[in-house]
Chain A
Amino acid sequence: MAASSAQPQQIAITDLDLPQLSDVRRQLEEELSHLTNSFTQLKQAQAKFKSCIDNVGEIKLQNKGKTILVPLTNSLYVPGKLSDPENVIVDVGTGYYVKKNRSQALKHYETKVDFIRTNLETLQDTIQKKQDNLNYLLSIIQSKLQAQTQAT
């Protein structure tokens, strides 16, 4: 028999019987999929902020007065000139838009990217732990099944 209670639970996993074990397994799998979803979403958000950083880089001083196609709606573009390459307007959430100059905007986005990165790392650790728990549980289930089939 495997060693009991390597999990943060009071009951030894090895003492649970099969239906309960499959319940626990299902619960773990749900949590795992939820966490993985969150991880994917965070990654997407991070990619978006990174692209914002690139975009800010495009509004360089040398582009002032250059003709650009200005999007007015999703499918309408009008030729225009970049009038203000020093400032950009950043959506800082909850309906607030702040006009920052380029370096401030860059810093803002980089902070966001870093914040997400730390969250991602923590999330990654949690996912790993859950995965390990799940694997351990699966091996217990296996051994129980075997013991059962041998007994019958």
Chain B
Amino acid sequence: MSSGSIFTEEKNPRGIPRAPFIENVEAHLGGPDVEVEPTLKQFQDALAKYRYMDANLTQRRQGLEEKIPDIKKTLTMVEYLQERRQGKSKANPFEDQGDDLEDEDEDEEADGSKEPLKTTFELNDTLYAEAELEETDTVFLWLGANVMLSYSLPAAITLLRSKLALAESSLRTSIEDLEFLREQVTVMEVNTARVYNWDVKRRRERRERGEAQGSGSSTKEIEGT
């Protein structure tokens, strides 16, 4: 009877078991007369698990790939606000590329302690309105799930930076895991094919042996009579 689990103790850093490549089908099964059905079923189960993990990871990766540019934009914006707060320096007009989220025009006053920032913000998909940004130390971050918190500028920057780092590393590990999974799926499929072929070969050998014996015994009978 084949061993209980076909997985060795090897796992990748995220706990995905490595699929063993079966060199000698017969040795793995445990004998020339063992049924392959249970083993094949194990392989199919393992394959199903791998595929499920693959689907999960792909989904996670897509979600992350969407979130990361967003976090980057938010971080850039907060850093810009921080810069304006700190500097009396002439900041260049800030332009948002790509998405037509908003246009910012800077309203610079000579030696203003109050430098209101005029911005066009999005009310709706096709509707924008104008507003003046107050000078404030606080920004509000939408954390999702109907939660919005206010942060001071430096705290916001710290938070966004850590979120970005986390998302990026998560994305990297997801991509690694996906590659790893793809390898293991291939290994498992090859194993399945080999076990199946071995079984086919064995059946054929059995049948041939059976026929040889059958013809052998019938010859004996003829001789006997």
Q: How far is the CA of A56 from the CA of B127 in the complex (A)?
A: 8
Of A51, A72, A92, which is in contact with the most chain B CB atoms at under 10 Å from its CB? A72
Q: Contacts A56-B127, A84-B130; is A74 near B136 (CB within 8 Å)?
A: no
A115 contacts partner chain B, Cβ-Cβ < 8 Å: no
Contacts of A105 in B (CB 8 A): 127
Residue count of chain A within 8 Å CB distance of chain B: 35
Interface class of chain A by DSSP: strand
Q: Provide the A62-84 mask, 1 if CB < 8 A to any CB of B, else 0.
A: 00000111111111111111111
B122 contacts partner chain A, Cβ-Cβ < 8 Å: yes
Contacts of B120 in A (CB 8 A): 89
Determine whether the beta carbon of B142 is less than 8 Å from that of A75.
Answer: yes
Q: How far is the CA of A79 from the CA of B118 in the complex (A)?
A: 12
Determine whether the beta carbon of B142 is less than 8 Å from that of A89.
Answer: no
Q: Contacts A80-B131, A88-B123, A90-B127; is A72 near B118 (CB within 8 Å)?
A: no
A107 contacts partner chain B, Cβ-Cβ < 8 Å: no
Contacts of A52 in B (CB 8 A): 123-127
Q: Provide the B141-158 mask, 1 if CB < 8 A to any CB of A, else 0.
A: 111100010000000000
B212 contacts partner chain A, Cβ-Cβ < 8 Å: no
Size class of the B contact interface (CB-based, 8 Å)? 35 or more
A92 to chain B, nearest CB (A): 8
Determine whether the beta carbon of A78 is less than 8 Å from that of B124.
Answer: no
A48 contacts partner chain B, Cβ-Cβ < 8 Å: yes
Q: How far is the CA of A49 from the CA of B124 in the complex (A)?
A: 9
A78 to chain B, nearest CB (A): 5
Determine whether the beta carbon of B77 is less than 8 Å from that of A72.
Answer: yes
Q: Contacts A52-B126, A52-B127; is A73 near B134 (CB within 8 Å)?
A: no
B81 contacts partner chain A, Cβ-Cβ < 8 Å: yes
A87 to chain B, nearest CB (A): 7
Determine whether the beta carbon of B131 is less than 8 Å from that of A76.
Answer: no
Contacts of A84 in B (CB 8 A): 129-131
A55 contacts partner chain B, Cβ-Cβ < 8 Å: yes
Contacts of B73 in A (CB 8 A): 73-74
Q: Provide the B104-147 mask, 1 if CB < 8 A to any CB of A, else 0.
A: 00000000000000111111111111111110101111111000
A120 contacts partner chain B, Cβ-Cβ < 8 Å: no
Of B77, B130, B148, which is within 8 A of A73 by CB?
B77
Determine whether the beta carbon of A78 is less than 8 Å from that of B128.
Answer: no
B45 contacts partner chain A, Cβ-Cβ < 8 Å: no
B58 contacts partner chain A, Cβ-Cβ < 8 Å: no
Of A58, A67, A70, which is in contact with the most chain B CB atoms at under 10 Å from its CB? A70
B74 contacts partner chain A, Cβ-Cβ < 8 Å: yes
Q: For window 81-97 of chain B, which residues contact chain A by CB distance below 8 Å?
A: 81
Determine whether the beta carbon of B130 is less than 8 Å from that of A74.
Answer: no
Q: How far is the CA of A88 from the CA of B118 in the complex (A)?
A: 14
Determine whether the beta carbon of A81 is less than 8 Å from that of B132.
Answer: yes
Contacts of A82 in B (CB 8 A): 129-131
Contacts of B136 in A (CB 8 A): 78-79
B215 to chain A, nearest CB (A): 50
B148's nearest neighbour on chain A, judged by CB, is: A77
Interface residues of A (CB under 8 A from B): 48-49, 51-52, 55-56, 58-59, 67-85, 87-92, 97, 105
Closest 7 CB pairs of A and B: A91-B126, A89-B128, A77-B140, A84-B130, A75-B142, A80-B133, A83-B132
7 new A-B contacts, CB < 8 A, other than A52-B126, A59-B123, are A56-B127, A73-B73, A75-B74, A75-B144, A76-B142, A80-B132, A90-B128
